[in-house]
Amino acid sequence: MYGTARGEWRTTRQRAAVLGALRACDGFVSAQALHAALAADGVAVGLTTVYRTLRLLESAGHVDVVRDGDGERLYRPRPDGGHRHYAVCRECGLSLAVDSEEVEQWVARTVRLIGFRAVDHTVELTGVCGDCHRPADRRTDP
């Protein structure tokens, strides 16, 4: 494989910082946002290093990754063992883990049905959360 599970990374100030900042976030963050947050926190870490660390975490399976509307990668520390799916608010960025047991089963069944193998699935919900669509706000009301 790709050096994924080597568990041999050196412990550096930068990596600790990135990991810490990532954990300190509620929802998904982009590499750039993370870098900015670190900088704002007075921690100097190169953008390059943020990207590299995030990629490392990704291949080690320590983070979940989604893509926002522009194809930008958003990272989130993985809660526990398995992967999850989220509903992300496009106004405030709030992300809610949703129960997707049913979807998982549907995926498994569908995969079997169509004869695909090594299937990856993406299930993303993006909308406007309860806090963000208060009366004053609505400008989208079909």
Partner DNA sequence: GTATGTGCAAACGATTTGCAGACTG
Partner DNA sequence: CAGTCTGCAAATCGTTTGCACATAC
Contacts of 128 by beta carbon, 8 Å cutoff, 6+ apart: 89, 90, 91, 140
Tell whether 104 is in a known binding site.
yes
- Residue 110 is a binding residue for DNA (CB under 7 A): no
- Residue 87 is a binding residue for a second copy (CB under 8 A): yes
Report the residue from 5, 24, 39, 44 that binds DNA according to the rule CB under 7 A: 44
In whole angstroms, how close is the CB of 89 to a second copy at the nearest point? 7
Query: CA 120, CA 116: separation in Å to the nearest integer?
Result: 10
Query: CA 118, CA 10: separation in Å to the nearest integer?
Result: 32
Handedness of CA 9, 10, 15, 20 (dihedral sign): positive
Near a second copy in 56-85, by CB under 8 A: 67, 71-73
- Residue 10 is a binding residue for a second copy (CB under 8 A): no
Helices 31-40 and 13-24 cross at an angle (nearest 10°) of 100
Closest CB to DNA among residues 45, 88: 45
In whole angstroms, how close is the CB of 17 to DNA at the nearest point? 8
Closest CB to DNA among residues 11, 140: 11
- Residue 121 is a binding residue for a second copy (CB under 8 A): yes
Q: Are strands 73-77 and 85-89 parallel, antiparallel or unpaired?
A: unpaired
